[in-house]
Amino acid sequence: MNKRLIVLPVAIAALAAGAWWLRDGGTAHRGDLVLHGNMDIRHVELAFNASGRIAEVLSREGERVAKDQVLARLDTTRLALQLAQAEALSASQRSQVAKLKAGSRPEEIRQAAAQRDAARVAVEDATQVHRRQLDLVERKFVPQQQADSAKNALDAARERLKSAEETLRLAELGPRKEDIAAAEAALAAQEAAVAALRHDIAEGELKASAEGVVEKRILEPGDMATPQKTVFTIALSDSAWARVYLPETALGRVPMGAKATITTDSHPDRKQAAWVGYVSPTAEFTPKTVETTELRTSLVYQARVFACDGSAGLRQGMPVTVTIALDQPASTAKPCPGAK
């Protein structure tokens, strides 16, 4: 038999198989969908929530940082001085409130009582003087003017006694509730000022919002920082996904949450667990006015396949291969228990 007649059908069969592989969306075999894409990693731009001159920058590009790790600090010397002043005023007002709440001291009450007793004795003395003057006036020994003067002195002594008695009563009652409330309100205002300054000083530290890797260090010590100026760009460690495109023929065969694996060119034998977390509701390319069957099968839908271990071993824009088993049963369980 002519060998050319045998080789020709084999070649045609190989070409047909390759065409079927491409038409089926790049599947390794009939049960798996193999897609090629690139990694995406979420980023966060960190800036101070205050304005000031940067005193320290503590992290560099490529450094892995933990959540709440201090990355940079502002110069807060002026704020520290203002805080010391506010704390002193707050302490003074706190003492005033304590004084009002404690009321009059026993010594003050005894002093007021002694003044009341002295005023009472003065009234008795003035009464006796007035009586003697009246007797002398009746006996024509002194003029009426002296009796009138004694009467005026008696009235003044009685008024001083009333004042001393009121002073003693107020000392026993203690401060008014309104005075205490006003002092407490002033104390609250002072404490709020202290809290505000402490908050401003705390905002002088720039902390990492989540675990990640420093991608860009933009400002340096001596630079002026504002809330509008980014200091660091952090690539987050707990969120990485492969951006791939599902062919229309496989769209109905990949349920949301389907398990998948991600491999990289640098480690093709290392499979990282993943899951399908997003499929675009619209085609990536606008269909033509008249869609034939062939055109419909060429439409693709953007999908995100999330890595269970976050960005471990993965980099932004890295080419990856994603393998998804088709026709997986829908499940409500977490695709990656304990994943980041």
Q: Token digits for 9?
A: 């059908």
Q: What is the distance of C-alpha 63 from the center of its chain? A: 24
Cα 109 to Cα 15, 101, 104, 118: the distances in Å are 112, 16, 7, 14
Q: What tens digit of pLDDT does each residue of 132-188 get?
A: 888 887 887 878 888 888 889 888 989 998 898 888 887 777 778 888 899 999 999
Is residue 63 within 8 Å of 257, Cβ to Cβ?
A: no
Question: Within a 10 A sphere around the Cβ of 7, how many other Cβ atoms?
Answer: 10
Section 104-118 average pLDDT? 83
Q: Token digits for 215?
A: 């991608």
Q: What tens digit of pLDDT does each residue of 254-302 get?
A: 888 889 999 988 888 888 889 898 888 887 664 444 344 554 456 788 8
For residue 25, pLDDT beyond 60: no
For residue 54, pLDDT beyond 70: yes
Mean pLDDT of the chain, nearest integer: 82
Q: Where are the domains of the chain?
A: 24-42+236-325, 46-74+203-232, 82-199
DSSP per-residue string spanning 43-64 = EEEE--SS-EEEEEE---TT-E
CATH topology of domain 46-74+203-232: OB fold (Dihydrolipoamide Acetyltransferase, E2P) (2.40.50)
For residue 4, pLDDT beyond 70: no
pLDDT value at residue 240: 86
Q: What is the distance of C-alpha 158 from the center of its chain? A: 67
**298-328 as b/e: b if 16+ CB within 10 A:** ebbbbbbbbbbbbbeebeeebebbbbbebee
Q: Token digits for 283?
A: 């085609």
DSSP-derived pairing of the beta strands 32-46 and 212-217: unpaired
- 243 or 2: whose pLDDT is higher? 243
pLDDT value at residue 30: 53
The winner for highest mean pLDDT among 124-128, 155-159, 217-221, 331-335 is: 217-221
DSSP per-residue string spanning 171-202 = HHH-S-HHHHHHHHHHHHHHHHHHHHHHHHHH
Question: Within a 10 A sphere around the Cβ of 203, how many other Cβ atoms?
Answer: 17
pLDDT value at residue 246: 87
pLDDT value at residue 100: 85
pLDDT value at residue 24: 42
**Alpha helical stretches, state H, the chain:** 3-23, 77-102, 106-138, 144-173, 177-202, 293-297
Is residue 301 within 8 Å of 283, Cβ to Cβ?
A: yes
pLDDT value at residue 334: 67
pLDDT value at residue 19: 36
Across 24-28, 85-89, 184-188, 249-253, least confident range? 24-28
Q: What angle do CA 181, 183, 189 make, to 5 degrees?
A: 105
SS3 call for 132: helix
Q: What is the CATH number of domain 24-42+236-325?
A: 2.40.30.170
Burial of 197 (0-12, 13-18, 19+ CB in 10 A): buried
